[in-house]
Structure 1
Amino acid sequence: MDVTYPSSLALALFSITLVLALFVRSLRSKKTKGQLPPGPKGWPIIGNLFQMVMNRPTHEWFHRVMADMQTEIACFRFARVHVVVVTSSEIAREVLREKDEALANRAEAYSIDLISHGYHGISFSAYGEGWKLSKKVMVTKLMSPTTLNNTLVSRTMEADNIVTYIFNLCQSGSMKKPINVRDATLTYSHAVMMRMMFGQRHFDEPAEDGGLGPKEKEHMDAIYRALDCLFGFSVADYLPFLRGWNIEGEEEEVRGAVDIINKCNDPMIRERMHLWREKGGKEKEEDWLDIVITLKDDQGMPLLTFEEIRAFCKDVNVATIDNTMNNVEWTIAEMLNHPDILKKALDELDTIVGKDRLVQESDLCKLNYIKACSRETFRLHPPNAFLPPHGAREDTTLAGYFIPKGSQILVSRPGLGRNRKMWSEPDAYKPERHLDDYSRDSMGVSMLEPDMRFVIFSTGRRGCPGTKIGATMIIMLLARLLQGFDWSLPPGASQVELVANNSNLFMAKPLLASAKPRLAPGLYPKIQV
C-alpha cells in the first residue's frame, strides 16, 4: 500500500501538539535511569514525530539516520514512546535471546487491535497467560509433527496443482506470453493455507483454470493490505487519543481489509463451530479449524471463544503468505539475472530428483544449493524492513544503553542482512556463501539462522512457531517451479529490474518471466479441487 502524506498532515500534527502541550505541560517526564541509545534531536513533547511524517517511508529514514550517525542501535522518540532500532546481529541476539523475556510484549496500535480482535492470538497479544495458551495451542496442536504429517497430502496436492496451473498457462494461447510469477506463488501459498486451515481450496466455487477465484483474490488482497498497515508507523500509534480519526487514511484502509477477511472467514468459522458444538461434529478432526474449535479446558468446556478463533485464523492468514511469495519471486528474479546460479540449481534437481518424477517434500533435505539460494534471498530481500516490534515489559538495557519500560524494539532485517561488518560484498547475490557454513556430511544447509546474521524466521520467546512448515512451503514451491519449467527473461528484456517497493520490501513490480515445460507432459497432473 503506497500512501501519499499531504503537507497539511504535518500542519495538523503541529496544531495538535500545541493543544497536547497545554495538557501535558504540568506532567513531569520520567527521568531516564541511564543513557539512552543515540538518536536524532527531536522537538519538545512530540520528539521525532514531525521528522517521521516528513520522511516517508519511515524505515528508510531510520536507516539513513543510523548510517549518518554510524551507529548500530538508535533511539527515536515519538511522543512518550521510545522506538529503538537495531542493525547489529550481536545486539539482535541480545534482544531475542538474553533479554527476550524483558522484551516479550508487543506494540499497541489501531491496526493491530483490529486485526487481532482485541490483541488475541499468538502474533499480537501482550505477553502473559493468554499468549502462553495461544502459543501452546499453536506449537503442540497445529504445528505438531502428527498434524503436519496429516496435512502432507493437502500440501502435495497444491504442489501438483501449481505446476499444472502454470503448464496450462503455457499451453493456452501464445507460449510467448510471460507468466506472472507473483500470481503463481500467491496461488500456491493461499491454496495451501486454505487447505490446512479450512480443509478446502476455495470459499465458494473453484476457479476453472486452477488459479484463485474472485473471492480468494479478494481475500488475498485484503491480507496484504492489512499486513502493510501493521508496519505503517502511523502518528496515531504514538498518540492514542488520535486513534479512530483516520488522519492518515490508514485506519479506513485496515478497517476495509479486516471487514473483507471477516466476510470470508467468519461464515466458515460459525458453520464449523455449529457443527462441532451443536451437531455432534465429525468422526475426526480434519484441519486446523477443527482442532482449535474442539479444544477443551479442564472442565470440558470449549477452550476458545469465537473472537479467539477468529484471531487464530488471521494469525494463519498473515503468517503463511508473505514469506513464501516474497522469497520465491525474488529468488527466481535473481536467478534470471544470474544464469549460472539457475543452472546450478537445475543441475542439483536433475541429479537428486531426476526428470521422471516430481520433487517431493522428502527430497528437500538434499537440495542444499536451492536452500542456499533461498537463504541468500532472505538475507538480501526480506519481505519487510523489521521483525514485529518487541515491547519492553520493564526497564532494561541493550548494548549497555538504558531501555525504558514501554519502549518498542525494532530488529532491522536489511540492517542485519546487509551489514558490512558481517558480510563481504553484502549487496551481491552469492548463494555459495551459505554452503561454506555447512558440511555436506551433516544435515546439510539449514533454513534456520540462530546467530541472527540475517532473518529467516524470528526466534526467541516470541519467535515464529511455524518455522518448519514455512521453510517447507518455500523450498517446495521453489523446487517445483524450477524443476517443472525452463524460465527465461521475456522477449526484449535484458535483465530483471531488482527494485523493492516502498511500503514493504516486495518487488516493486510483479515478476514476469517466460516459461516452457521441461518435463514430460504426463508428469503434470490434473487440477485437484
Structure 2
Amino acid sequence: MDLVTLASTLLFAVIIAKVIRPWLFKKSQDRSLGLPPGPPRLPMFGNLLQLGQLPHRDLASFCEKYGPLVYLRLGSVDAITTNDPDIIREILLRQDDVFASRPRTLAAVHLAYGCGDVALAPLGPHWKRMRRICMEHLLTTKRLESFVKHRAHEAQHLVQDVWALAQTGKAVNLREVLGAFSMNNVTRMLLGKQYFGVESAGPQEAMEFMHITHELFWLLGLIYLGDYLPIWRWVDPYGCEKKMREVEKKVDDFHMKIIEEHRKGKRKETGSEEDGDMDFVDVLLSLPGEDGKEHMDDVEIKALIQDMIAAATDTSAVTNEWAMAEVIKHPRVLRKIQDELDSVVGPNRMVTESDLPHLNYLRCVVRETFRMHPAGPFLIPHESLRATKINGYDIPAKTRVFINTHGLGRNKAIWDEVEEFRPERHWLAEGSRVEISHWSRFQDLAV
C-alpha cells in the first residue's frame, strides 16, 4: 500500500470514527438518561430527515405513535414535542422557570436584531427590561383604549370598501381587503399613519411594507437546517441565510426611515406621553435608555417595532380569512351569527367593540377558527435552562420545545370530529360568556 493510499484510508477512518463515536455515545447516554420515547434516529442527522414540508403534521403523527411527550434529536439539538394539554400545562405553568427562555436561532439573530426583541429573546435582564417597556408604556389598557376611534374608523372603511366592491359584481379578494385592514390598524397605533386607503402613505410604500412583512414571516417560520447541522451553513444550498441577510437589511432600512420621520416631526419637550395623539414610536422615542442614557437605543426601538408589526398583521389577516371562509362554507353558522347580531346589535348601527362581550355565538366561531386554523402551527419555541423531568422522563438542559398548536386542535383525545367546523362545541352549558383569551384549560391553546 503506497503512502497516499494509506493516508487516505487513515483520514477516512478518522472521519467515520468522528461521526459514529458520538452517535454510539449518545445512544448509550439516551438509555442511561431515561429520555421520552421517540422515533429511531440516524447518525449525525438524528430525526431531521423524517420531517417533511409540513413538520407539524409529522410531529403530530409521532405523538399519536409514541405518546403525548416525544423526544427528537434534530442534528446536534435535543428537542421534545407535544400536543397534549397536561404536558403543555407542565411546561408553561408548573415549570415555567425552566422553560421560559428561547433558543437563539439564526432567523432570530438576523431578523430580530440579534435576539434583541421581546418575542424571540432568551430569558435575561434585557428581555425583562424590554417586556417591562411593552407592558408599562405600549400595551396598557389606557393606551389601547385611546385608539378605539381609529379602530372603529378602519372597521367602517372596511365595510364600505367591501360593499362598494360587491356592488360592481366583481369577486372580493378577502386576503387583500383583510390584510389592508389589519395593516392599517397596527400602523395607525404603531407608526401614526395608514398604509392603505384614501389618506394612506401611498400604494408604493404600502406594497413595499407588505412585501417585507411577508418575507419576514416566511423566514421566521422556517425550520432552517443550519440551526441543527452547523456544517449546513457552509453550503446553504437554498440560500436561506443569504435571504435572511437581505431581508434584515430591508427591514432595518424601513425601520430607520420610520424613526427618522418621527424625529423630524418630534413633539416639543412640553409634550407628554399621556397625549392621546402619541403613537407607539413617539412613546419609545420619549423613554430613557439603559444605564442612564437619555434615550433608548435605535436598535431597541426597531426591535420593538418589529414585534408589534409581527404580532398584529399577517396573523390577524390570515385568521380572519379562515373565519370568513368557514362561515361561507357553512350557511347554518352564518345564519346563527346574523340572528345574534340582529338580537344584540340591531339592524340600524355598526357593531362596536363594546358589543363583542355579548356576542357569545360569534365568540364560539372565533374559538373554533383558532382550533382548526391557528395563526402558526407551533408556538414560538421554548428552550430549557437546565435539566428537568416531565412525567418521569429526563429532559436535558438546552432542549428545544415544540408545542404543536395545529396538532392540539386536532387531538382526538380532546376533540371529536376534529375536521368538522362546529362552533357549538365551545358553547357553555350555563350560558355564561365564552372566553377567547386567558382560558383555564390548556386544550384551549388550540383556540
Q: Which runs of 5+ in 1 are unaligned?
A: 1-17, 458-529
2:3 match: none
- Equivalent residue for 1:223, pick from 213, 221, 245: 213
Q: Using the TM superposition, name which of 24-33 and 192-201 deviates more.
A: 24-33
2:258 match: 268
Question: What amino acid maps onto 2:164 in structure 1?
Answer: N
Question: Number of residue pairs matched?
Answer: 428
Query: Separation in 1 of the partners of 2:234 and 2:215?
Result: 18
Paired residues of 1:165 and 1:209 also in contact (CA < 8 A): no
Question: What amino acid maps onto 1:134 in structure 2?
Answer: M
SS of residue matched to 1:214: helix
Shift of 1:220: 1.9
1:142 match: 138
1:154-169 matches, cutoff 5 A: 154-169=150-165
Query: Separation in 2 of the partners of 1:296 and 1:308?
Result: 12
1:197-212 matches, cutoff 5 A: 197-202=190-195, 207-208=197-198
Query: Separation in 1 of the partners of 2:139 and 2:80?
Result: 32
1:409-488 matches, cutoff 5 A: 409-436=401-428, 439-440=430-431, 442-455=432-445
- Equivalent residue for 1:58, pick from 37, 52, 55: 55
Shift of 1:390: 0.5
Query: Separation in 2 of the partners of 1:161 and 1:255?
Result: 37
Shift of 1:450: 3.2
- Equivalent residue for 2:279, pick from 271, 282, 287: 287
Question: What amino acid maps onto 1:427 in structure 2?
Answer: E
Could you say what the CA RMSD is over the residues aligned between the two structures, in angstroms?
2.7
Q: Alpha carbons of 1:191 and 1:139: their partners in 2 closer, same or farther (altered >3 Å)?
A: same
- Between structure 1 and structure 2, the one with the greater Rg is 2
1:335 matches 2:332: no
1:151 matches 2:147: yes
Shift of 1:194: 0.3
SS of residue matched to 1:402: strand
1:348 match: 340
Q: Alpha carbons of 1:311 and 1:210: their partners in 2 closer, same or farther (altered >3 Å)?
A: closer
Q: Using the TM superposition, name which of 85-94 and 207-216 deviates more.
A: 207-216
1:381 match: 373
- Equivalent residue for 1:31, pick from 29, 32, 37: 29
Query: Separation in 1 of the partners of 2:291 and 2:77?
Result: 42
Paired residues of 2:100 and 2:384 also in contact (CA < 8 A): yes
Question: What amino acid maps onto 2:85 in structure 1?
Answer: S
Query: Separation in 1 of the partners of 2:283 and 2:39?
Result: 49
More contact order relative to length (CA 8 Å, sep ≥ 6): 1
Query: Separation in 2 of the partners of 1:384 and 1:415?
Result: 11
1:358 match: 350
Paired residues of 2:101 and 2:384 also in contact (CA < 8 A): yes
Shift of 1:23: 8.2
2:11 match: none
1:214 matches 2:204: yes
Identity fraction in percent: 27
- Equivalent residue for 2:174, pick from 181, 185, 207: 181
Q: Alpha carbons of 1:399 and 1:219: their partners in 2 closer, same or farther (altered >3 Å)?
A: farther
1:124 matches 2:123: no
Paired residues of 1:82 and 1:407 also in contact (CA < 8 A): yes
- Equivalent residue for 1:296, pick from 288, 296, 314: 288
Q: Alpha carbons of 1:111 and 1:148: their partners in 2 closer, same or farther (altered >3 Å)?
A: same
Query: Separation in 1 of the partners of 2:301 and 2:232?
Result: 29
Shift of 1:423: 1.2
Shift of 1:26: 7.8
Query: Separation in 1 of the partners of 2:174 and 2:200?
Result: 15
Query: Separation in 2 of the partners of 1:215 and 1:127?
Result: 35
Shift of 1:418: 1.2
Question: What amino acid maps onto 2:151 in structure 1?
Answer: R
- Equivalent residue for 2:241, pick from 233, 236, 251: 251
Q: Alpha carbons of 1:23 and 1:62: their partners in 2 closer, same or farther (altered >3 Å)?
A: closer
2:302 match: 310
Q: Alpha carbons of 1:26 and 1:353: their partners in 2 closer, same or farther (altered >3 Å)?
A: closer
Q: Alpha carbons of 1:49 and 1:420: their partners in 2 closer, same or farther (altered >3 Å)?
A: closer
Q: Alpha carbons of 1:123 and 1:343: their partners in 2 closer, same or farther (altered >3 Å)?
A: same
Paired residues of 1:165 and 1:210 also in contact (CA < 8 A): no
TM-score (norm 2): 0.88
Q: Alpha carbons of 1:71 and 1:183: their partners in 2 closer, same or farther (altered >3 Å)?
A: same
Query: Separation in 1 of the partners of 2:245 and 2:159?
Result: 35
Q: Alpha carbons of 1:303 and 1:211: their partners in 2 closer, same or farther (altered >3 Å)?
A: closer
Paired residues of 2:19 and 2:43 also in contact (CA < 8 A): no
Query: Separation in 1 of the partners of 2:15 and 2:264?
Result: 51
Cα deviation digits, residues 452-488 of structure 1 (max 9, x gap): 113268xxxxxxxxxxxxxxxxxxxxxxxxxxxxxxx
1:463 match: none
Question: What amino acid maps onto 2:388 in structure 1?
Answer: T
Paired residues of 1:162 and 1:188 also in contact (CA < 8 A): yes
- Equivalent residue for 2:84, pick from 84, 88, 104: 88
Shift of 1:252: 3.2
Question: What amino acid maps onto 1:116 in structure 2?
Answer: A
Cα deviation digits, residues 301-330 of structure 1 (max 9, x gap): 345211111110110111102331122111
Paired residues of 2:371 and 2:406 also in contact (CA < 8 A): yes
Question: What amino acid maps onto 1:187 in structure 2?
Answer: A
Query: Separation in 2 of the partners of 1:329 and 1:100?
Result: 33
Cα deviation digits, residues 169-228 of structure 1 (max 9, x gap): 234xx31x11111111111110011001011113xxx64497982322232232222222
Query: Separation in 1 of the partners of 2:98 and 2:291?
Result: 33
Paired residues of 1:447 and 1:456 also in contact (CA < 8 A): no
Question: What amino acid maps onto 2:114 in structure 1?
Answer: G
Question: What amino acid maps onto 1:197 in structure 2?
Answer: L
1:394 matches 2:392: no
TM-score (norm 1): 0.75
Higher helix proportion, which one? 2
SS of residue matched to 1:453: helix
Question: What amino acid maps onto 1:185 in structure 2?
Answer: L
Q: Alpha carbons of 1:26 and 1:341: their partners in 2 closer, same or farther (altered >3 Å)?
A: closer
Q: Using the TM superposition, name which of 443-452 and 380-389 deviates more.
A: 443-452
SS of residue matched to 1:410: strand
Query: Separation in 2 of the partners of 1:140 and 1:61?
Result: 40
